[in-house]
Amino acid sequence: MRLGYLLALGTLAVAGVSLAFLPGRATGAQAAATRAPAAVPLAAVVAAQGEGAAKGPALTDKPLPAWRIKLLDTAFEAASRMPLNPHVRTRSRLQAAILVSALELDQPVMARRLVDRIANWQRGLAYADLAFHAVQHGNESTVRGDLATAEQIAEEILVDKNAQDWPRDRIRIRIAETHELMGHQDKVAEFSSGAPDFETGKLAVLQASRIDPGQFDARLRSLDEVLKGAGFEQWRMALGSCAHLYGRFYADAERRDLLEDRIVHGCPKLPLQVRLEYIREIAGHAIDHADPTRARKLLDEADRLLESGSWLPEDHTPQIALTAALRARARDDDRARTDLERALGIFAAAKPPVVDMLRARALRPVAEAYGALGDLATALSVYRRALSESIVNRNSRPRTEDFCAICISLASHAIEPDAGLQAALLAVFRDLGDPW
């Protein structure tokens, strides 16, 4: 039986007892550290000016069960407890990851409500993400202001003589991707100019997914040239482009096979983990196109590649689980379950045991894969185990990272915590504090 679940900003009933789940339980020093920075006003100013006709309806969040929203809200409050000094990078990274998850669940209003509480450059990237999401969903009413705010934050990075260039580049490439969706090629060129390959590769992948069918042969030839030489970032861009093209042209068997060959065999020098990422991606495309037979074939190749390498248990366990989750989607349930049992066995047998800061990270994909199998009881059991493993280390920084990741995972995979996991999450949340 599914139980009603309410986390954060109110009360949680567990075993008939009402338990407050409020960020206000932080100490005075923690509360000061979590105070939101002043919002950049440019977005509101531009929106108020009303320049140009607003396109699309007013922003709205997709209806979701309250417990999924509360998980993300609670994760954000946990991340926001981290003191800015010395943890501004970790805190902002976690907050930004939660906003990305909110947008993936089509919650732009929620993301907009939280964005100005991010303290560093990640706030600029989040504004660019808001604009990208709005264009994707046919609502450009807030895009102008969001892009202007993102650009302003990117340029402010240059004021700090000790700052590195890559955060600015990352924001500007996201701005360029948004202009790519809108067909503003002059702006795409402006915002991508001078960025390094590891950033422009993201834009190249997006552009590959949008090419005209008549450009396919020319684009494939150019990708082949990249695969013949170049280096790590260029190879990643090429395989990422091939994977996007694979999904777009899946119905064209000849083109699909050409792309599959390049993804599976075209770049043997890349690390196994990266190659596995793209093989799984195209297996997912096969599943999306109702072709489980091809998906299983690709997943067999992924398993062959996985077992050809040497892995630490904390890496081997989640790698097996990632493939098992796709097997579940491809209706290969027996194999998926066998593989998950093997993954847990590898984790348990690790000698020496997996270090405490990596245990929850290794177990989360296993829980997600059991969820994909529809085995919610086992999924919740593994989540509880991951949460228990996360608090072995008494330092609240790694605890908070694991807590946020577990909340995001549950919300994103639509796995509702039962009463036991609710209580455990609440206990961990309330205990987050010194020492950091």
pLDDT band, very low/low/confident/very high, at 134 (cuts 50, 70, 90): very high
Q: Which of 31-45, 143-157, 241-255, 357-371 has the lowest mean pLDDT?
A: 31-45
3-state secondary structure of 57: coil
Residue 155: CB atoms within 10 Å = 13
Average pLDDT of the residues in 269-289: 96
Contacts of residue 390, defined as CB under 8 A and 6 or more positions apart, other chains included, come to: 359, 360, 398, 399, 402, 403, 406, 428
pLDDT band, very low/low/confident/very high, at 59 (cuts 50, 70, 90): confident
In this prediction, residue 58 carries a pLDDT of 74
In this prediction, residue 57 carries a pLDDT of 66
Cβ atoms of 419 and 14 within 8 Å: the answer is yes
122 has a pLDDT exceeding 80:
yes
**Enclosing H/E stretch for 13:** strand 11-14
Q: Position 208: which residue type?
A: A
Q: Of all residues in the chain, what percent carry a pLDDT higher than 90? A: 78
Quick: pLDDT tens for 18-50: 333 433 333 333 333 334 444 443 344 334 334
- In sequence order, the β-bridge partners of residue 19 are 12
Displacement of CA 71 from its chain's centroid (Å): 15
Average pLDDT of the residues in 62-66: 97
Structure tokens at 298: 């690709």
16 has a pLDDT exceeding 70:
no
In this prediction, residue 54 carries a pLDDT of 52
In this prediction, residue 55 carries a pLDDT of 61
Burial of residue 374 (CB within 10 Å: 0-12, 13-18, 19+) is exposed
In this prediction, residue 49 carries a pLDDT of 35
Compare 72 and 211 and report the one with higher pLDDT: 72
Q: Which of 205-219, 355-369, 399-413 has the lowest mean pLDDT?
A: 205-219
Compare 28 and 384 and report the one with higher pLDDT: 384
419 has a pLDDT exceeding 80:
yes
Q: What is the C-alpha separation between 395 and 376, in angstroms, rounded? A: 30
pLDDT band, very low/low/confident/very high, at 386 (cuts 50, 70, 90): very high
3-state secondary structure of 223: helix
3-state secondary structure of 188: helix
In this prediction, residue 56 carries a pLDDT of 61
Quick: pLDDT tens for 96-108: 999 999 999 999 9
Displacement of CA 324 from its chain's centroid (Å): 19
Average pLDDT of the residues in 77-89: 96
Spell out the domain ranges in the chain: 1-31+64-114+351-436
Quick: pLDDT tens for 326-341: 999 999 999 999 999 9
pLDDT band, very low/low/confident/very high, at 159 (cuts 50, 70, 90): confident
Q: What is the C-alpha separation between 164 and 160, in angstroms, rounded? A: 9
> Crossing angle for the helix pair 292-307 and 253-265, nearest 10 degrees?
10
362 has a pLDDT exceeding 70:
yes
Average pLDDT of the residues in 286-302: 98
Q: Of all residues in the chain, what percent carry a pLDDT higher than 70? A: 87
Structure tokens at 98: 């939660």
**Enclosing H/E stretch for 327:** helix 313-329
